[in-house]
Chains A and B, each alone.
Chain A
């Protein structure tokens, strides 16, 4: 029971929330601007490196509070980078064919990797888990690292918060309105370009803070940019392209299936992620939550 049901369920949920936290900013930017940001992983990575540098700066001390504060700092730094990226890359992309945004953001991904190598070098680093999250909880025979429990909780809380903002606040409703009809929003006086800037900064902030929060779980190297890319795009596409609820559900579905699948077929890790993704797209080509933006 534990080995074949609870444990893979727990691991799958953990992975799902890692993927979801990684993907929120990507989803938001794609949902509203329709720019598929290939460089998203690069900025997630920069967030992780910034957090790593701050941890070093304060002497490796990782209390829970420091960990949360440092992750926020990483989010802010990456959010400010988003401000620059929006001005010089995303804004001109609004006026040209969507294919260009793939090329431009892919180039941006390469730039982030180069920048990370230049600033932090190519060696591998890691950071200790904050004290409070270093342990584990046993429920019967089920082994649950505290850090994984924390990330699962943060994932669900982030989803609940985003969903609440989108459904119940004026800003969230404006996001949905601009996402579904930016032309009319402009006609009604909404400064759509400035709103896009805000969304990009928010999306990059979410990428950076995710980099900080997930740092204790990662080995830091310039390869980190592409670590979650497949899972992230899988969740984005299966979720219905730019829909927070869809991305959340798709991340859970794909990662939990993958987790059970790897019990059966441990030789090829991740195989069942692709199988689940393919099956989901064959059954629901429009994605889990079709049609709705955000």
Chain B
């Protein structure tokens, strides 16, 4: 459903992403792995027209979308959860979720709040709580719920596990696996948590200094244990 690259992305004079190509099929889950600062967030933001200058083709369902602005990409069915979550502090949980109603594709309807609380039961009791009153873990779950509300075809998650308690990490993984199974959601996941990435995806791209140093399935990745040692260990 998405074929991008080779892509180059820049912040000012810094050439951050260098010749990266990624592709993801309908309903597939892929992970973008790499240490801090290798360019995972830059890549996702570039795919969403969210900051870096991007050179190179991005094709979505056969159409070139590289010139579309962020809201137009959102309305084509891309749901984005940025690394800093960006929950609106002055809006309630319910209002935060409904914000992505603007991204609902023409002729489609968003989920109901009740369905969303069905997927993410921990938010149900918080419905009227304001954004700034939530813990980091609650904000993360809310950011995912907000993206899911518009029924995106493809979800882009930027390190959803960062700074989150293990129980919530497990809960998020379960939800994502379930949603991928139930609705054929496509997933592009930037992560450093290998356990979580493996649970949610079938393939991975390993980045280092803005380049892909490995692309393949999880078993292929496991067959080369030096990759993990060289590009992921802290």
Stretch at the interface among B18-26, B95-103, B183-191: B95-103
Q: State A121–B91 Cα separation when bound (angstroms).
A: 50
Report B107 CB to chain A, min CB distance, Å: 15
Q: A176-B90, A189-B74, A189-B150 are in contact. Are A183 and B102 (CB under 8 A)?
A: no
Q: Is the CB of A181 within 8 A of B88?
A: yes
- Per-position contact with A for B80-121: 1 when CB-CB < 8 Å, else 0? 101000101111000100011111100000000000000000
Q: Is A62 an interface residue (CB 8 A)?
A: no
Residues of A within 8 A of B (CB): 173, 176-177, 180-181, 183-193
Q: State A192–B70 Cα separation when bound (angstroms).
A: 9
Residues of B within 8 A of A (CB): 48, 50-51, 69-71, 74-75, 80, 82, 86, 88-91, 95, 99-104, 146, 150
Q: Is the CB of B102 within 8 A of A180?
A: no
Q: Is the CB of A177 within 8 A of B88?
A: yes
Q: Is the CB of A186 within 8 A of B69?
A: yes
Please name the residue on chain B nearest to A294 by beta carbon: B90
Report A132 CB to chain B, min CB distance, Å: 41
Q: State A189–B89 Cα separation when bound (angstroms).
A: 19
Q: Is the CB of A190 within 8 A of B82?
A: no
18 sample A-B contacts, Cβ–Cβ < 8 Å, listed by A number: A177-B90, A180-B89, A184-B88, A185-B102, A186-B69, A186-B70, A186-B74, A187-B70, A187-B82, A188-B71, A188-B99, A188-B102, A188-B103, A189-B75, A189-B101, A189-B102, A189-B103, A191-B71
Residues of A within 8 A of B150 (CB): 188-189
Q: Is the CB of B71 within 8 A of A189?
A: yes
Q: A173-B91, A176-B90, A177-B88 are in contact. Are A186 and B99 (CB under 8 A)?
A: no
Residues of B within 8 A of A181 (CB): 86, 88
Q: State A7–B88 Cα separation when bound (angstroms).
A: 45
Residues of B within 8 A of A180 (CB): 88-90
Q: Is the CB of A185 within 8 A of B50?
A: no
Q: Is the CB of A173 within 8 A of B48?
A: no
Q: Is the CB of B103 within 8 A of A184?
A: no
Q: Is the CB of B71 within 8 A of A186?
A: yes
Please name the residue on chain B nearest to A293 by beta carbon: B90
Report B177 CB to chain A, min CB distance, Å: 24
Q: State A66–B69 Cα separation when bound (angstroms).
A: 45
Which among A183, A185, A187, A188 has the highest number of chain B CB atoms within 10 Å? Answer: A187
Q: Is the CB of B82 within 8 A of A188?
A: no
Please name the residue on chain A nearest to B149 by beta carbon: A188
